[in-house]
Chains A and B, each alone.
Chain A
Amino acid sequence: MSRTEDRLTDALDALGRTVADEHLRPLSDIAVGSSAGAHSPWRRWLAPAAAAAAVVVVAGLAVTPILGHGSGRAAGSGAGGSAATPRSRLLYDASRCRPPVTAATSGGPAADYTGADREVASGTVAGHPWSVWVKKGLSEPTALEDGGLVLSGRWYGMCAGPPNVLETELVDTGGPGIAYGYLAYPGRVTLSMTPAHSMRAPHVVRLAGVSAFIAPLSKSACAYQSVTVNGSAHAGSATHHLELGTCQPGHDVAITSSDGSWSDTSPQLLRGCSPSATMFSSGGPAAAHIARDVKVAAGIVGGQSWSLWSQKGSHGVDGIKNGGLVLSGRWYGLCPFGLNPAGFELVDARSAGVVYGFVGSPGDYAIRLTGRTERQHLPKPATLRAQGGTFFIGVLVRSACDYPSITMDAIRNGQTDSQTLNFGTCKPGHVVEVRTGSGNW
C-alpha cells in the first residue's frame, strides 16, 4: 500500500471513529411517547425512521379545520358565527383551549371546571359575584389561559387568547353586560373600550406577567355589534377588535371575527416559555432536550443540519411550542410565539445567519422576510407543515448580527400578517436577543 493509501486509510478511519454508537441519537428514546407503538419491537427500532417519515405524513395531512376567528372560539358558536366576513387572519386552533371556550360551552356550572383550578381573586361587578381561577400546576400566562372566570356561579373560559396578547369576551347577563379578559403584559394595566364609555371602571387582577380584567358595560352585551379594547402596560400595548354575533343570556356573546395588534417595548415575547427560549439559554447541547421530545422533521439549511422536535405528550402546536430546533447539534427554543400566532428567531450561526420560526395557525402560509436596512426581501425560507402549524427555516444573506430589525409576513389567501422584531446583542451559536417587537393578529 502506498503512502497516499496509508494516509487516506488512516484519516478516514480516524474520522469514522469519531462516530461512536453510544453517541448516536437516542433512538429508543425517540420512540417513547411517539405515535409509534411501544409494543412493537419493529416500531421501537424504527422509531427514528418513523419520525422522519412523519414529516411526509404531516405535510400530507389535511389542514386542521379552521375552527374560529381570532379569539379562538368555534365558528358558529352562537348563531352569528358564519355571517360576517372573517377579519382575523392568523387563525388558531381552538381545540387547544382547555377547557374549551365557545359561546355555547360558556356559562356552565362552575363546579364542572374549578376542580383543577385555584381561585386567585374575587369581587362583585354590577351586582354579580365573580372570581378568577388559574389552572393548578401551571405558570402564567398559561395558568390563566387554562383557567377562567366564575360569574354568578357560571363558568366562562379564558383560553381563547393564546394567539393574542390581549383577549376580550363579553357576557350576556340578561342586563348590562360584563366584559372580561386579560392582557398578557406585566405591570399596571390601562384599559379602554370603543364605543366610548361602553366599559366602566374595570377590576384588574394582576398576576405574574398577566392581568385579568372584569368590567361592567353600560348596555347589554347584545347591544354591541363590535367593540375595540385597548390595553397597555409598561411592557407593551395591544388592541383587540371584535365583531360580535348572536347573544344568549348567561353565555359569552358569539364572536364572528377578531383581529388585533401588539407592540412590545421589552422582550416579553419570551415569557412563559418552557423550555426557556432566550439568547442565553439557546445554543446549548441538544441531548437533554431531545431525550424528552419527538423528532418531527429534519433537513439541511446553509450547510447545517437541522431537526424540529415536539415535546412528548404535547399535541399539535403546543408540542412544537414546548419543543425546539436542533441546529448542528445545538438546541434552540421555539417558544416565543406562545403569546403570538407566529414568531421567529435569528441564530448567529457559524457562517451566514439562520432564521427559523413557526406559524401556530392552521393553513398553508408563505413566509416573506424583509430586513429593514436593506429594504429587500431576504431569501425565501423553506416551509413545512408540522402539527397544525407552519415551520420555516432559512439562511440570511449576511450574519444574523447584521440585522437590527426584520419583518416577517405570514401570507395566506392574499392576507398578510406582519411581525417586526428589533434585535439587540448577538452571540455566536445563540439566538439573537429580541429587544422589542410589534405585529398584528
Chain B
Amino acid sequence: MEAVPHLADSPGLGAAVNSTVLAELFRRHHGDLVRLATVILRNREAAEDVVQDVFANVQARSGQLVRPDAALPYLRAAVLNRCRSVIRRQALAQRLGLLRDVDFGLDQLSAEADVIRAEERRQVLAALATLPRRRREVLVLRYYAGLSEAEIASTLGISQGTVKSAAARGLAALARKLGEGT
C-alpha cells in the first residue's frame, strides 16, 4: 500500500494558511518541484502537469495548510505520489502495446539540453529507470534533491532503516547495471 499524503496527515499541517503564504510557496518551489518530477518522469511536460495538479489540490485544500516549512515536504511527497500514477499509466500503456518507446522523455529532453546527450548520462538514467520504484525514489531524493535519510523517510512515509537499505541496494543494482563496482 503506497503512502498517499494527505494534508491533514502531515505534521505541521491542519490550520489555515493565508493566500500570501501559498503564493510564496508556489514562487519559491514550483521550479524545483518541476525539476524533481522531471528527474523522476524524464518528461518535462508531464512533470509540469504533475506539479500543477499538486498545487491545484493544495489550493482546493488551502484551508488546511499552514507552515511553509511543513508544506514543502508535503508538496514534495505529493509530487512523488502523482509521478507514481503517471509511471503506472505509462507501464500499463507499454504492456498493452500502446507505448512503444517508454523512454520518450529522454529524447525530448535531449533536444533541449546538450548535456543529456552524453551517452554515459543516458546509460545512468536508463539504468536508474529499471530499479524498483522505492529504490529509484530514494536515490533521486538522496542524490538529486540532497535530502537526509530522515527527510527521505518522512517524505516517503518509511523508516530511516528502509531508506538506508533501499539506497544501498539501489546503488549496488545500479553499479551492476553499469558494469562497475560500488
- Which residues from chain A sit less than 8 Å from chain B, CB to CB? 2-5, 7-19, 21, 23-25, 27, 40-42, 44-46, 48-53, 56, 298-300, 302-305, 307, 326, 328-329, 350-352, 379, 395, 397
Contact = CB atoms under 8 A, between A and B. Distances in A.
Interface in B124-167: 124-125, 128, 139-140, 143-144
B6 interface: no
Given A18-B109, A19-B44, A351-B98, 16 more contacts: A5-B171, A7-B121, A17-B113, A19-B47, A23-B112, A24-B34, A40-B19, A42-B22, A44-B23, A46-B22, A49-B59, A50-B56, A52-B52, A53-B60, A299-B49, A395-B99
Interface of B: 19-20, 22-23, 26-27, 30-31, 34-36, 38-39, 42-49, 52-53, 55-56, 58-60, 86, 89-90, 93-94, 97-102, 104, 107-109, 112-113, 115-116, 118, 120-121, 124-125, 128, 139-140, 143-144, 171, 174-175, 178, 180, 182
Contact of A8 (B89, B99, B112, B128): B128
A11 to B, nearest CB: 4
A7 B124 contact: yes
A49 B56 contact: yes
B104 A351 contact: yes
Contacts of B27: 45
Nearest to A43: B19
B20 A41 contact: yes
Nearest to A330: B45
Contacts of B45: 304-305, 307, 326, 328-329
Contacts of A15: 38-39, 42, 109, 116, 121, 125
Nearest to A394: B98
B143 A46 contact: no
A14 B116 contact: yes
Q: Interface residues of B: mostly helix, strand, loop or mixed?
A: helix
| In the A-B complex, the 5 residue pairs with the closest CB atoms | A42-B19, A18-B113, A49-B55, A52-B56, A305-B45
B99 A4 contact: no
B44 A18 contact: yes
A397 B97 CA distance: 8
Contact of B49 (A44, A298, A352): A298
B182 A4 contact: yes
A401 to B, nearest CB: 14
B39 to A, nearest CB: 5
Contact of A24 (B19, B30, B109): B30
Contact of B144 (A13, A40, A45, A303): A13
20 contacts: A4-B180, A7-B121, A9-B143, A17-B115, A19-B31, A41-B19, A42-B20, A44-B23, A46-B22, A46-B59, A48-B56, A300-B89, A303-B89, A303-B93, A305-B48, A328-B43, A329-B45, A350-B104, A351-B99, A351-B101
A24 B113 contact: no
B102 to A, nearest CB: 7
Contacts of A326: 45
Nearest to A398: B97
A21 B52 CA distance: 14
Nearest to B46: A305
B31 A24 contact: yes
A305 B99 CA distance: 13
A350 B45 CA distance: 15
Interface centre among B23, B56, B99 (most CB of A within 10 A): B56
Contacts of A50: 56, 59
Given A4-B180, A351-B98, A12 B53 contact: no
Contacts of A42: 19-20, 22-23
B162 to A, nearest CB: 19
Contacts of B171: 2, 4-5, 8
Contact of A49 (B58, B97, B109, B112): B58
Contacts of A298: 49, 52-53
B43 A12 contact: no
Contacts of B113: 14, 17-18
A7 B143 CA distance: 10
B145 to A, nearest CB: 9
B51 to A, nearest CB: 9
Nearest to B27: A45
B1 to A, nearest CB: 23
B35 A16 contact: yes
